[in-house]
Amino acid sequence: MTKRIPGYRLWKKIPNLTLVHIQYLPRHLTHSLALRGKTHMTDKNSISYWLPLLQTAGVKTPKTILVYTDIDFTGYMDGRASAEQTARLGLFCDELQRAALKLGGFPVFLRTGHTSDKHSWYKTCLLFRIEDIASHVLALAEFSYLADMMGLPTDVWAMRELLPTEPIFTLRHGMPVNKERRYFVRDGKVICHHPYWPQDAVQEHFVVKKSLKLNLNAPIKRAPPCHDWKKKLAAANAETDAEIAELMTLSTRVSRVVPGAWSVDWLWTKNGWYCIDMALAAESFHWPGCAQAGTFGEPR
């Protein structure tokens, strides 16, 4: 039996190409965890909980490396970080860099166990260069602390492969909108399903840009400026019978290996549908008017 001591590290291989780096937390947990009494092993909304289960379902998921840390990021946000804390941040960024290289190099997708703050895209989750890791980590940490009254945990981080998609159009900060779906499942059955992007959610973040001062030569496709985005979104949100049949089958597989009620998010790529995210159904957004919306409880 492995003795759990501060700083002890263990590499563990789990199915379907995910390499998980486990660092046991010290006895006195960090600020973000102590307030909640959670760990990455029991926090069901964390990717560290549901991803290992998901990978046994036989569905496509992005290649992912999880990195665990006990760093308290608040000191970096208010300028109080000591030299020792700055050095620890550097070591953590080195771990993330190694994870990105294990996935094949940049660009890659970065997120915490709970969020990617994807609406800030080029400032948070999309990483083109090693030099940007630290600034993206701090931006995601700041968003996490402000995202909820108690904040979101920052003990789990995920470096993921960037999937090849066909963006419909681009939102503020360059975030591409793709064809996505959300399926609600419970104990082996699909309860309901919806397109991921309602028009109101898109309009809130929509800015037509003639150009973005970004690395346009990077190996990622960016959608052109779009003035008829409502029409394109409606077309992308149209669910065909064939699509529904396929995602019903895939979502049922997921539900059979992840007990309970969940939202399951699917992204359409050049290589088919990928399951990219999950969350407890009671804490997930439902489209207004769905007859099943109240059966899981109210989202946070």
**Domains annotated on the chain, with CATH:** 9-161 (no CATH), 169-295 (3.30.470)
Cβ neighbours of residue 206 closer than 8 Å, sequence gap 6 or more:
171, 172, 229
Closest CA to 112 of 141, 134, 133, 82: 141
Tens of pLDDT, residue by residue over 4-27, are 222 222 223 333 333 443 333 332
pLDDT confidence tier of residue 110, bands split at 50, 70 and 90: very high
Half-sphere exposure of 187 (CA within 13 A, CB side): 1
pLDDT at 223: 54
Kindly tell me the sign of the dihedral angle through the C-alpha atoms of 59, 126, 97, 84: negative
Closest CA to 126 of 173, 89, 77, 92: 173
Tens of pLDDT, residue by residue over 171-199, are 877 889 999 999 999 999 999 999 999 98
pLDDT exceeds 90 at position 252: yes
Query: What H or E segment, with its residue span, contains residue 99?
Result: helix 83-102
